[in-house]
Amino acid sequence: MASSDNQHALGKILDLTRMLSIFLLALHFYYFCYQVFYLWGYSSVFTDRILAQISKTGLFFGFGKSKLLALGLLIVSLFGAQGKKKENLSRAQTLALLVFGLLLYFLSAQVLSLCYDNELACLWYMALTTTGFLTVLAAGTLLSRLINLPFNNGDIFNRENESFPQNETLYQTEFSVNLPAEYELKGKIKSSWVNFIEPFRGILVMGSPGSGKSYFIIRHIITQHIAKGFSMFVYDFKYDDLSSIAYNAWLASKAASGKMPKFYAVNFDDLSRSHRCNPIEHSSMLDITDAAESARTILLGLNREWIKRQGDFFVESPINLLTAVFWFLRKYNGGSLCTLPHVIEFLQIEYDHLFTLLRTEKEIEILIDPFVSAYLNNAMEQLEGQIASAKIALARLSSPQLYYILSGNDFSLDINNPDDPKIVCMGNNPQKIQIYGAVLSLYVNRLVKLVNKKDKLKSSLIFDEFPTVYLNGIDSLIATARSNKVCTTIAVQDLSQLKKDYGREQADVIMNVMGNIISGQVSGESARQLSDRFGRIQQNRTSFSINRHDTSINRSKQLDAAIPVSKIAALSAGEFVGITADNPNQRMELKSFHCRILNDHKAIKKQQNAYKPLPIIRKVDDSVIYSNYLRIKEDIKDMVNLEIEKLLSDPMRHHLVIKKKK
């Protein structure tokens, strides 16, 4: 009730003020246009006396004093105006109307000096001044109907509210990767650093094609680790993009330090620039479990859908058969024929000879016994289903070029051997991904097993487009390799891509065990998981409501996502979000970041133009490649004939020979 009375009293005061302004304007007209009013008969002795008394106060000293005072009272009365709020009113149009009214109100005095007819001049002057006065009154009333919000509406995407402090200090160690960056905090651009001071806890690089994974991140991991003396393995999906970076970084570091690891490159397209390497070299295959792991890797690499079906009869049977073949050739003649090409050719021999030779090795007897029983009992449909899966898959690798690379021994895969450190780059071809990917998977699995050991040098394993290779036990590598100074960097386009090739469980494990994550633009589940990982920050929230009289503003603080899903899905190229890991000796308070990585584009372009191509290792022509292909086939034929003859001539072992009646 009291509030209503106060509002009513205030309204009366404002009305009185407005009436006073009108009265003052009327006195102004009467005083300065007195002759016209006298001619019209609107003057009297009484009003003249009152006007004379008022003039003594100084109100009419100067033409504009009374006029300005009348306008002032009008403006005061408008301060309390409370019109009904209207959303579609234009602020600019209302202000333009106000300016027009003020100009008309003050410039109307020029009519008195321009017009020679005094009566007409006074009429025009009073009409224009009154029009200006009423226009100001109307504009002021419209201003009260505008919706005024006391907060900035320009930040429609809430960028300023979602910004947060980030690490601005450079933390350098003998293992670290440091990326210069800049970020936005409350509308200001600040310099920062993305410091991977503990790369041994794993680095996961995510981002859709074109987000800048290789250009802004992976190239710096390669160059900085090579400069710090790391041994290195690089899986180059689009050969020779990363291999060229690694090779030229190796040349620069070698020139600066004089002592660096040796450089090796493997690719299956340009054989003259490729070293040769046997992934199942007998000295690295210490027991039958190594053979089983290699067999599983190559077959799952060739049949990616088998990854989700491990444990099935028709998945495990071919793996057991291939394990037996691997181990047989590993044991035969000191492992002289223990290469993947010899394995492929050995599997193609007829079943009588195949099972006869495999039975001679006691360690694999338990593996091949089901196959021998099925063969002798004429269960040929089952047997063909078991063996054909391996034979058909491996037959895709029967290529003179692949045989040439896989049958050589230019280097071993123990890249972090203190006596013989290496930088090894292996290239894939997106157009031949299914074939090359399986062979490279075998290389990778054998290399990881040799690298993840104690008392070795620090090493860096970099996998571009990781889902295109199959690495068995990647989760255990990341979890255990830290103590052995093995830094694992995995680049993927999206978490769904990883789930497609590795299965949901394995993909989730990889995502969760990674200590360092940096991501460009991703969407869907990948973005949701990242947003949850970055946590929440306190953000200001402002809401408003509109009624007839005023605008009500409510302000509050609440925890909300530091980096929302929508923001991760809309990142520009070179813009990244992520979280870094620290260690007990060097703690970082600010681990999360949302920044733009700074690359010196001119310097990088200049470096790329000066890059030296990968060297020619040896001159290789088609005759050399094909003769090597035929030699491998002959090796298997000679070995089979020789061993069968030995068995036939030995009464003690003659019973091992299988000769099924047709």
**pLDDT, tens digit, for every residue of 324-362?**
999 999 999 989 999 999 999 999 999 889 989 998 888
pLDDT value for 406: 94
Average pLDDT over residues 555-566: 82
- Is residue 164 a part of any domain in this protein? no
Do 446 and 505 lie in one domain? The reply is yes
Do 191 and 291 lie in one domain? The reply is no
C-alpha separations of 40 from 113, 116, 611 in Å: 21, 19, 100
pLDDT value for 657: 81
Average pLDDT over residues 64-83: 73
**Is the pLDDT reported for residue 79 higher than 80?**
no
Average pLDDT over residues 634-639: 94
pLDDT value for 118: 72
Q: Which residue has the tokens 């600040």?
A: 190
> Which range (158-162, 279-283, 599-603) has the least confidence?
158-162
Find which of 68-77, 546-555, 644-653 is predicted with most confidence, using mean pLDDT: 644-653
- Which residues partner with 593 through β-bridges? 578
- The torsion angles phi and psi of 521, rounded to 5 degrees, stand at -65, 120
Number of domains within the chain: 3
Do 423 and 560 lie in one domain? The reply is yes
Neighbouring residues of 90: CB distance < 8 A, sequence distance ≥ 6: none
Tens digits of residue pLDDT in 386-438: 788 888 888 888 999 999 999 999 999 999 999 999 999 999 998 888 889 88
Is there a contact between 177 and 221 (Cβ–Cβ < 8 Å)? yes
Query: 83 lies in which domain range?
Result: 2-145
Neighbouring residues of 99: CB distance < 8 A, sequence distance ≥ 6: none
CATH code, 246: 3.40.50.300
Amino acid (one-letter) located at 357: L
Do 553 and 639 lie in one domain? The reply is no
Do 429 and 388 lie in one domain? The reply is no
**Is the pLDDT reported for residue 2 higher than 50?**
no
How sure is the predictor about 601, in pLDDT bands with cuts at 50, 70 and 90? very high
Average pLDDT over residues 90-110: 79
Tens digits of residue pLDDT in 135-174: 887 877 777 666 555 554 566 677 777 788 999 999 999 9
- Is residue 172 a part of any domain in this protein? no
Higher pLDDT, 547 or 658: 658
Do 445 and 562 lie in one domain? The reply is yes
Higher pLDDT, 500 or 231: 231
Do 255 and 338 lie in one domain? The reply is no
pLDDT value for 1: 45
Do 632 and 601 lie in one domain? The reply is no
- Is residue 158 a part of any domain in this protein? no
Higher pLDDT, 119 or 457: 457
Do 299 and 339 lie in one domain? The reply is yes
- Is residue 302 a part of any domain in this protein? yes
Distance CA 196, CA 489 (A): 11
Helices (H) and strands (E) in the chain, counts: 25, 13
Percent of the chain with pLDDT over 90: 43
As a dihedral over the C-alpha atoms of residue 405, residue 406, residue 408, residue 414, rounded to 10 degrees, the angle is: 110
pLDDT value for 5: 63
Do 125 and 198 lie in one domain? The reply is no
pLDDT value for 4: 60
C-alpha separations of 76 from 20, 353, 410 in Å: 11, 111, 94
Average pLDDT over residues 567-572: 92
pLDDT value for 258: 60
> Which range (131-135, 146-150, 476-480, 553-557) has the least confidence?
146-150
- Is residue 159 a part of any domain in this protein? no
Do 425 and 553 lie in one domain? The reply is yes
User: How many angstroms from the chain centroid is the CA of residue 208?
Assistant: 7
**Is the pLDDT reported for residue 43 higher than 80?**
no
Distance CA 158, CA 164 (A): 12
Average pLDDT over residues 618-630: 93
DSSP 472: T
Is there a contact between 379 and 604 (Cβ–Cβ < 8 Å)? no
- The torsion angles phi and psi of 281, rounded to 5 degrees, stand at -55, 135
Neighbouring residues of 185: CB distance < 8 A, sequence distance ≥ 6: 163, 164, 165, 166
456-487 burial code (b ≥16 CB/10 A, e <16): bbbbbbbbbbbbbbbbbbbbebbeebbebbbb
Do 270 and 288 lie in one domain? The reply is no
- Is residue 530 a part of any domain in this protein? yes
- Is residue 422 a part of any domain in this protein? yes
- Is residue 135 a part of any domain in this protein? yes
Average pLDDT over residues 433-447: 90
Mean pLDDT across the chain: 85
How sure is the predictor about 83, in pLDDT bands with cuts at 50, 70 and 90? low
pLDDT value for 40: 74
